[in-house]
Amino acid sequence: MSSLGRHHDPIVAIATAPGRGAVGIVRASGKQLQPLVDALIGAPLKPRQAHYGPFRDATGQPIDHGLALFFPAPNSYTGEAVLELQAHGGPVVLQLLLARCLEAGAGIGLRLAEPGEFTERAFLNDKLDLAQAEAVADLIDASTEAAARSASRSLGGAFSAEVEQLAERIVNLRMLVEATLDFPEEEIDFLEKADARGKLAAIRAAVDAVTARARQGALLREGLRVVLAGQPNVGKSSLLNALAGAELAIVTPIAGTTRDRVSETIQIEGVPLHITDTAGLRDDAEAGDEVERIGMARSWESIHSADAIVFLHDLTRLADADYQAADARIAQRLATADPARLLQVFNKADTGVSAGSDGRLLISARTGAGLEALRQALLKRAGWQAAPEGVFIARSRHVQALKQTAEHLAGAAAHASQADQALDLFAEELRLAHLALQSITGRFSADDLLGEIFSRFCIGK
């Protein structure tokens, strides 16, 4: 992100979403914003108090009337001086205000903010750590109530506090190890008398517990990609409609009706499920035309990238040899997928066909029978557990960092088993575990990582 080299420039942006609204906000941040206050307000502003009046153009004429709020550094969102102009939410009005700010701030180098740059400055000025900064975007993007509440907890520092507690425990253990390395003449049996193994085991258990909760948080944020796969006319489109509670996909008895992927996001217990209905799978030679063949190719693309695959079968055709053979060919191709992702589901249970007693997951997309069992099975495939109130939002990178921490702690445990002869390697693994944890909160992060994270924010936040 180019702003990393320009974070001392004053910046300005429209902070509200595009379109018409009752109120629109133009926000500026920088070390010195007095020229903006003088040019647009023409009167002193008391810190953190709303001032109502005209916002003036270069000739002194009002662009609009609204509220101006000034937050002096460091007591602001970004840690710099912040000026907010709350005007009527028309796009033209806001663009005029933005242009006037850039005109009035030309002498101090005021420029348009880049995506996420206000929050980036909050991070750079130690108002937020990186996990909290990411939670800002996650709260804005939350697609379920559970995700929003979890993002709010992360923004409040719940996740960061747990990470910092783990880091502190690792640092304390490092201090004991390195002190022993510095004073070998003491001839202390460090591993026994300092209970290093016990301390390390407790830290590893704590990391595992936080990792489990972070995985739940990542599910809340990112959801589960579910693909409905199977032969034509097994009821995939009907199942999508039943799960979504809306007629999203066209349903007919004609094979090959679904030509392309149809997707919908639903939620189960607060977890977003991104469900994709795919074209029916059959041999290319049986496809009606080139469009259907392209649709089937896209179906396989979706299957390969899915977190969970619902392989849907038609109970009414299980006795049909040709149907069984086609199902077997699909199953053989699906066998290359991770078996943990595959869920065998049998549709049309409402027809009265005997389904046997082999523990099959039976549903009826027409009547809704068995759908709740299917929902729970999908959550189980995702590794979801009923969310306790304390779950915090997390990202894949957080889970990966915790995994790396656990791996380094496992390495430390292996060296600990060799007693004092491997204390230097023990200390090194603890150092690497500490660095992995610090990458979550941004204590140790590369600039390219920061650029990747903040470039995904909306402009004005």
- Binding site residues for (6S)-5-formyl-5,6,7,8-tetrahydrofolate, as ranges? 27, 84, 127, 461
The closest of 402, 408, 418 to 174, measured between CA atoms, is 408
CA atoms of 109 and 36, how far apart (whole Å): 12
The Cβ-side half-sphere exposure at 228, using a 13 Å CA radius, reads 33
- Binding site residues for Mg(2+), as ranges? 237, 258
**DSSP single-letter state for residue 280:** P
CA atoms of 293 and 295, how far apart (whole Å): 5
- Binding site residues for K(+), as ranges? 233, 252, 254, 257
- Binding site residues for GTP, as ranges? 233-238, 252-258, 277-280, 347-350, 364-366
Q: What sign does the CA torsion over 317, 322, 326, 327 have?
A: positive
Specify whether the CB–CB gap between 432 and 174 falls below 8 A: no
- Residue 344's CB is within 10 A of a number of other CB atoms, namely 14
Helix (H, G, I), strand (E, B) or coil at 443: coil
DSSP-derived secondary structure for 148-188: HHHHHHHHTTHHHHHHHHHHHHHHHHHHHHHHHHH-GGG--
- Binding site residues, as ranges? 27, 84, 127, 233-238, 252-258, 277-280, 347-350, 364-366, 461
Continuous segment of H or E residues that includes residue 89:
strand 81-89
The Cβ-side half-sphere exposure at 364, using a 13 Å CA radius, reads 12
The closest of 358, 397, 354 to 133, measured between CA atoms, is 397
